[in-house]
Amino acid sequence: MTEQTVPWWRKGIDVASLPRMVTNSPGPQSQAMHARASRIIKGLSGQVKLHPVCFKDGFGVMLRDVDGNEYIDFSSGIYVTTLGHCHPKVSEAVAKAAHTLMNAHDFTTPIKTELLEKLVTILPEGINGVQLYDSGTTAVEAALRAARAFTGKHEFISCYMDFHGKSGHSVSLARMNPTNGSARAQGFYLAPRPDPYRPLFVKADGQIDTDAYIAFFDSLIDNVTTGQVAAFVLEPIQGWAGSIIPPDDFFPKLRALCDRRKILLIADEVLTCMGRTAKWLALEHWNTVADISTLGKGFGNGFPVTAMVAREDIKESFEKISASTSYGGNPMACAAALASIQVIEEEGLLENAAMLERFFLKRLQKMQEEHPIIGHVRVKGCLLGVELVKDRATKEPFDEAGKRVYRAAFRKGLAWIPAGHILRLSPPIIMDEEVAGKGMDILDEAIGEVERELGYA
């Protein structure tokens, strides 16, 4: 590897010594800092409660805590820093914008124009309507309003275990709890979606029956809705539910259903866009184009910038929904998003993510053969899921094992995301096989330790 071909992030960290643990994790300074903060802040995520590390800085694929421990990052924040921490091109673009103009509401700026023109070149043909936001929830809410405005209809169908946000109608697209309100918003309906490992509908040969799901959607429209369904809304790959990848025939068949029923298809690509699955949009894997999509997370590589994008004939409906926001499309956000797109192209990161997919799948399949508590593994690009079960025959979820594996791997230097019995991993798409292999080694060791603790080895 010559100096010219060494990736930028390898020049700033000692890969040979990564991970580098100099104290127990969480270390004393992390624990002290967390104790101070937690006296004030509440409502922290499950991953913080399970392993309260205080991170100090990061570079590329590495995170460093206040105790000096250096971790391999297999979380990308929360699917956010797709290009690694502090990519110089993105950081410099944001800094330049911050020194030039920080906010001009929704007035046109040069950097916004550049972003808009660049963005439509990477989107599917005919998707050229864009509005910019600062959170995934806001983009989803805007997509719902645009669908209503375009169709004149008001109902929505979404899927079990999908996640679309934490406010207003985005909450009604997903699982409810008492703090969300007394009931789901009127006109919002949930349906099951195909999970190849845990199918609700199967054929005589035991294989998942995608047609049965489509038939169920048809029946739902006829018997539960008022026939005024504006859109079907779903994640291409379920994130919060555990990186659940649908069968390959699902989205083409869902697209056909939506066309036949004159229903819009809204793809919530906040988690799956911008190379996370080795494509600009995850729906590209199934040659399917949504009518409206939402973008986020890796769109700005950590800077809060999201978008709603739509077909040309739908974009005029944006005029009817009071589409602008206080922070959407600010110069710093646009600079981050534009630089992120350029980095993906310049560094060949879609191809790198595809290479990593093959590497991760091979490693995880080998681990599945060797570890009895692994029931299922799945990979698309750098979006991974490992499902832990008490028994492969019954597929009973093994939540306790998931918690223990999460903590054990974190102590060994792997920063990542828990999800009950499903291990979720989302490494930056800049990673190479050497570091990816180290991360897989840590996961393998952690699962082995937990199996021994629980009497499975």
pLDDT tens for 270-303 read 999 999 999 999 999 999 999 999 999 999 999 9
Residue 65, phi-psi category: left (phi > 0), alpha (psi -120 to 50), beta (remainder):
beta
Cis peptide before 19 (omega within 30 of 0): yes
Q: What 3-state DSSP class applies to 113?
A: helix
Q: What is the mean pLDDT of the chain?
A: 95
Q: Which regions of 170-248 does DSSP assign to beta strands (E)?
A: 188-191, 229-234
pLDDT tens digit sequence for 322-351: 999 999 999 999 999 999 999 999 999 999
What pLDDT, on the 0 to 100 scale, is given for residue 278? 98
What pLDDT, on the 0 to 100 scale, is given for residue 165? 87
pLDDT tens digit sequence for 48-97: 999 999 999 999 999 999 999 999 999 999 999 999 999 999 999 999 99
Q: How confident is the model at residue 9 (pLDDT cuts 50, 70, 90)?
A: very high
Instruction: State the average pLDDT over residues 371-390.
Output: 98
What pLDDT, on the 0 to 100 scale, is given for residue 169? 87
Amino acid 15 reads: V
Is-contact 169 244, C-beta < 8 A?
Answer: no
- Whether 2 has a pLDDT exceeding 80, the answer reads no
Give the contacts of 170 (CB within 8 A, at least 6 positions apart): 137, 140, 141, 144, 164
d(CA 264, CA 208): 25
In the chain, the percentage of residues whose pLDDT exceeds 70 is 98
Domains annotated on the chain, with CATH:
8-73+348-453 (3.90.1150.10), 89-346 (3.40.640.10)
Q: Are strands 292-295 and 264-269 parallel, antiparallel or unpaired?
A: parallel
What pLDDT, on the 0 to 100 scale, is given for residue 417? 86
What pLDDT, on the 0 to 100 scale, is given for residue 297? 97
Largest Cα separation within the chain, whole Å, is: 65
